[in-house]
Structure 1
């Protein structure tokens, strides 16, 4: 027969066990100490213990050792991932582990739009406060326009290297697929001509036609007479914000295709993949002339007579708009 004292001791032991279990589970599933949402970075190669120490220091969890102990028993073998994560206020230790073991990594991007010149790529990288370190001015035409993900604290120069590596891969890939008989004889020439195509039309459907027109001019020894090549030495690819001066049209330099036959010495912007592809597979056309048509695109012509009629139409449109 069990004594009364034995029953009391057994009851006390049971209560202690239940209390311990409640505290153990509460420390895992209960609300955490974080007062407001915070971003937390898991470094590459960090161990669970290292991460737990960082979590405790940042006030995300109450105890690093308790977090590690519970994670090993209740965490289900979840593997933590490197990256930046958003931790909500009062997140439980269980929720914290779930977040840093998931794909809920905060994605940060630097976006390089099609036709953005290198001076503006440089300025965009410098202005991104989540990046660190200095960055060199990229050579014009060396950056592929795209969206580039990065981690907070990553070096600006490392992001730039990815942008440039993407351009190198793209040019190599497209050059291998080029059409026969092109006027451009090297990948470098292809990027230069693509940079002009990029600046001359904002309509994707026109790229191959513009590339075909300029290819025809190069083949026949005609001046390209591309306005963006006048502007580049003045602004390094930024908007001019005014009309081109007659003196600028007549300027002799490495870029102005109104005073030189052939391609500029260097690209005048960072061309898109689509513009490079257009240059390497241009439209089969006899067009030598183009002028704006009032719709955002161009009217193309094979002869100067036809071109002059198109120019007259364009001036009529501008007069109707009150621009002349």
Structure 2
């Protein structure tokens, strides 16, 4: 081949090179546009398998970028794991101190890969809330958290048996569980939600609300910290009508002072893991079932609280009303009849029993 021929050949290649580069660049841009585009955009009708609704995804702590990408691809939120890894490397170069954040996210197939990655990289987690009513036991909380999809009941129960006294030194010594010290309230949570994280929130709230109440009345109360919370929990479970809380606390305070058993139904319910109703009240056998929590049998307070008391029950239990009442009986409408003597109490019980019997008979006649 002559020199002129070689020059002509190289000149041809030089002319072809820009076109080749342009073609490769167009193909690469075309692939990236497809790989990073919203998944839902592939269906012009908009009828994606998820109807473009947000998908909640949980990123556990310690997840690698590739693991997160695989999860997103499996859920149909991104098209290409390769594109995801390329974006991750580029973002790492741009932000050397950043990384994907653990937590719960609401992501949509209509979001682009860059939008999804940016959301997780920036830790834009979904805020969620949970509400614990006054008077709930740990077991009721556990069932609630499982029902809401936060974590299993068993996980929560196990976590409540770990007593973090190093973090919360005010917790009484020798507690078998955290019953009574998980403050009932509504909480906002963001990021990773675990049994320990919600327990910490509730213990923090207890310290914020309950500890100052006890500190202010500690000098005049006969109760230790544990006794106070335990008594408050019984008052909380007995009281249905707010106005009766001081009277209920007064009855229990007087009975404790005079050495009379409390005879509180909620302690028997707690011991047996049941909840009595108007149609299924406690039976005599149940009331006589031996248990450290049965205050019909054992004098004084049970060994631990039986539920989570709210502020009102905590306050009235520390400073109960000064009354002469020693007894009360439920009317089954949320209210109680309070009595000073056993004779008055028995008369009240008989009147309530006769009233219920007459109502039942009247209802039966109407039905027939």
TM-score, normalised to structure 1, is: 0.67
31, 35, 46: which one pairs with 2:38?
Answer: 31
Alignment partner of 1:60 is 2:77? yes
- Residue 105 of structure 1: CA displacement? 0.9
Alignment partner of 1:189 is 2:227? yes
99, 116, 126: which one pairs with 1:105?
Answer: 126
Alignment-derived partner of residue 216 in structure 2: 177
Match of 1:290, SS? strand
Alignment-derived partner of residue 85 in structure 1: 105
User: Does the C-alpha gap of structure 1 residues 262 and 38 become closer, same or farther in structure 2, counting only changes over 3 Å?
Assistant: closer
Q: Is the 8 A contact 1:294 1:317 kept in 2?
A: no
1:256-284 deviation digits (Å, cap 9, x = unpaired): 33334322333333434442333123234
Q: Is the 8 A contact 1:29 1:93 kept in 2?
A: yes
Distance, in Å, in 1 between the alignment partners of 2:58 and 2:313 is 39
Distance, in Å, in 2 between the alignment partners of 1:307 and 1:167 is 39
Q: Is the 8 A contact 1:131 1:155 kept in 2?
A: yes
Match of 1:176, SS? helix
User: Does the C-alpha gap of structure 1 residues 252 and 56 become closer, same or farther in structure 2, counting only changes over 3 Å?
Assistant: closer
User: Does the C-alpha gap of structure 1 residues 323 and 35 become closer, same or farther in structure 2, counting only changes over 3 Å?
Assistant: same
- Residue 287 of structure 1: CA displacement? 2.7
Distance, in Å, in 1 between the alignment partners of 2:70 and 2:244 is 58
- Residue 207 of structure 1: CA displacement? 2.2
Distance, in Å, in 2 between the alignment partners of 1:262 and 1:153 is 42
Alignment-derived partner of residue 301 in structure 2: 263
Q: Which runs of 5+ in 2 are unaligned?
A: 1-18, 41-47, 93-97, 162-176, 363-368
Alignment partner of 1:229 is 2:280? no
Q: After superposing the two structures, state which structure 1 stretch, 303-312 or 41-50, moved more.
A: 41-50
Distance, in Å, in 1 between the alignment partners of 2:75 and 2:263 is 61
Distance, in Å, in 1 between the alignment partners of 2:74 and 2:332 is 62
Distance, in Å, in 2 between the alignment partners of 1:251 and 1:112 is 30
Equivalent positions of 1:14-53 (< 5 A) are 31-32=38-39, 36=50, 37-42=54-59
Alignment-derived partner of residue 319 in structure 1: 357
Q: Which of structures 1 and 2 has the bigger CA Rg?
A: 2
Distance, in Å, in 2 between the alignment partners of 1:307 and 1:35 is 66
User: Does the C-alpha gap of structure 1 residues 319 and 64 become closer, same or farther in structure 2, counting only changes over 3 Å?
Assistant: same
Q: Which runs of 5+ in 1 are unaligned?
A: 1-11, 73-77
Alignment partner of 1:292 is 2:330? yes
User: Does the C-alpha gap of structure 1 residues 178 and 237 become closer, same or farther in structure 2, counting only changes over 3 Å?
Assistant: farther
1:293-322 deviation digits (Å, cap 9, x = unpaired): 454112334455655564455345323421
Match of 2:337, SS? strand
Aligned length: 311
